Every structure is written in structure tokens, then in C-alpha cells.
Amino acid sequence: MDYRDTIIRKVEKELNKGTGYIKYLLRSEHGEFHVDDETLLVPAYSFTEISDLVRREFEKNNPVRKVVPIGFRGERLVSDQKELEILATGSTGLIEYWVRPVSR
């Protein structure tokens, strides 16, 4: 079963909120996708695959005008209305996404 459609629906819902948080834990045999107080056990997608899904959904409604690096661990995608912060901690298999209104 392909979990991508389920993940995309969950991501889309979370990104459309004023603020949101998404967490993905990569385990050796599966992934844990945490969103909106729910945990989905999914195949072990790579950080790149998950980030591509989240980023693509964010960019659908929020054209990115600037990308701000956050050290070597992440980046912040800034649109006119919202920003998406992505932070990865590879040693623990964790990648986190925060969406919030643009700070002015």
C-alpha cells in the first residue's frame, strides 16, 4: 500500500492551519509520521522523500520568495504569508517541520 496520499492529506491539513508541527522519525524497519496528535506507521521513507512531499505541499499555496539556511541542519522557507522551518537530526533519525505566520 502506498502511504503517500495519506501523508499528503495530513500534511496539507496541517499546513493550512495558522501554525502547525509535523515530525518524522526514521526507524530501521519503518517510519513514524506524527501530525496533529496522530502517529502513522509508514514505510521507511528517506528524509529527502518526506521533505519533498512536505515542501511541495507548502509551495502549492505559499510561493517561496526566500530560503534561509539554519546551520547545516535545516532551512526556513519564507513566503509572503507563512514560513516553513525544517530541521533534521540525522543521528536520531528525526526531521521536524514547523509552519507559522511570517514574523514581521
Domain total of the chain:
1
**Secondary structure in 3-state letters for the chain:** CCCHHHHHHHHHHHHCCCCEEEEEEECCCCEEEEECCEEEEECCCCHHHHHHHHHHHHHHHCCCCEEEEECCCEEEEECCCEEEEEEEEHHHCEEEEEEEECCC
**Where do we find the cell 509520521?**
33
Mean of the per-residue pLDDT values of the chain: 91
Q: What is the pLDDT of residues 35-59, one digit of tens each?
A: 988 999 999 988 889 999 999 999 9
pLDDT tens digits along 61-80 = 999 999 999 988 899 999 99
Structural domain boundaries enclosing 28: 4-101
| CATH for 59 | 3.30.450
